[in-house]
Amino acid sequence: MRTITRPVAFGAVALVLAFGIWLWTGGMDELARWAAAAQRDVQNGMARSLRALRAGDPAALTTLMSVCFAYGFFHAVGPGHGKMLVGGYGVAEKVPLGRLSIVALAGSLMQAVSAIVLVATGVWLLGLTRAQMTDAGDYWLAPASLAAIALVGVWLAIRGMHRLLGASQRAHFQAHDYDGHAPISDGGVCETCGHVHAPDPGEVAQAAGLRATLALILAIGIRPCTGALFLLILGWGMDLQMAAIAGAFTMALGTASVTLAVAGGAVLFRESLARAIGDGQGAARLASVIEILAGLGVTVLSVGLLLRLL
């Protein structure tokens, strides 16, 4: 089995590395130009669909949802922080595909929620113009999201360094009795006094996983999608609020279609690499190095995008 999986694993790793090199050497800019042009075309389609819906065209709503999904897809294909964080975390951390998929989907949906809250607050409470609300997303929320992602990258890199140096501390059950030893049952209960003196390791891992999941979703979802802002502002102006809200969530699903694919690719890459290098101390050290590199990669990319905004 190992002889069959190793060539496939090395091939998958080489393919991902080649794609990363292409992005780093100019492919990212080319992809960004293509995605931006496609987004402009789709934005025009959204405006036409809203006008048709306002005029009473029965097919306009279906057309609008299709256009919104397409915008979300093209938006996610271009340079963005959501898939960057999902991919980096999936490569760095041994996280189940299901949990990483939840991060990808929930983060995209939260971007729609952020856009709805910003537009509703701006229109109803503050009386902001379209330009002011777009500026709020670009100049305040986008940098906040990128800064949060950079911190996640730093956290991954530092944790990888700790693991590599053997400095990470693990939770242990505390034994205590008059003889200096007390047996602990499988449930974490001291057999001497009947109390639980330390949390079960599974509970610790579950709690840490939940905190990490929520932090990742928040880091992605702080920034509202620019296309959702565009759609919601037009929809509010045409008194088509519900259609615009539905379109914003459909747009988020289009974005999630890409980030979910990135999540799957990241998990496949990590598992292929694990099969290729096998088990042992060398494999553990290499896994720590990969975590460091992934964390640094997320940090460098997010800081680079942040500097473009400032």
User: Model pTM greater than 0.75?
Assistant: no
Domain assignments of the chain as residue spans, ordered by start: 2-167+199-309
Q: Are 232 and 111 in contact (CB under 8 A)?
A: no
C-alpha to C-alpha distance for 46 and 2, rounded to whole angstroms: 51
Per-residue pLDDT of the chain in tens (310 residues, 90 and over written 9)? 344 455 555 555 556 556 556 555 665 566 667 666 776 777 788 888 999 999 988 899 999 999 999 888 887 876 666 787 888 888 888 888 899 999 999 999 999 999 898 888 877 766 666 666 666 666 677 778 888 888 888 888 888 888 777 644 444 444 444 444 445 444 444 454 444 444 444 444 455 578 888 888 988 888 888 888 889 988 888 889 899 999 999 999 999 999 999 999 888 888 877 777 666 666 677 778 788 888 888 888 788 777 776 6
Instruction: Write down the pLDDT at residue 256.
Output: 93
Q: In residues, how long is the chain? A: 310
Instruction: Write down the pLDDT at residue 157.
Output: 86
Instruction: Write down the pLDDT at residue 27.
Output: 58
Instruction: Write down the pLDDT at residue 101.
Output: 92
| Amino acid in position 282 | G
Instruction: Write down the pLDDT at residue 84.
Output: 79
Which segments of 222-280 does DSSP mark as H helices, in order? 226-237, 241-277
Q: Are 255 and 227 in contact (CB under 8 A)?
A: no
Q: Which residues contact 185 (CB under 8 A, 6 or more apart)?
A: 191
21 φ/ψ angles, rounded to the nearest 5 degrees: -65, -40
Q: Which residues contact 296 (CB under 8 A, 6 or more apart)?
A: 153, 157
Instruction: Write down the pLDDT at residue 204.
Output: 42
C-alpha to C-alpha distance for 2 and 273, rounded to whole angstroms: 12
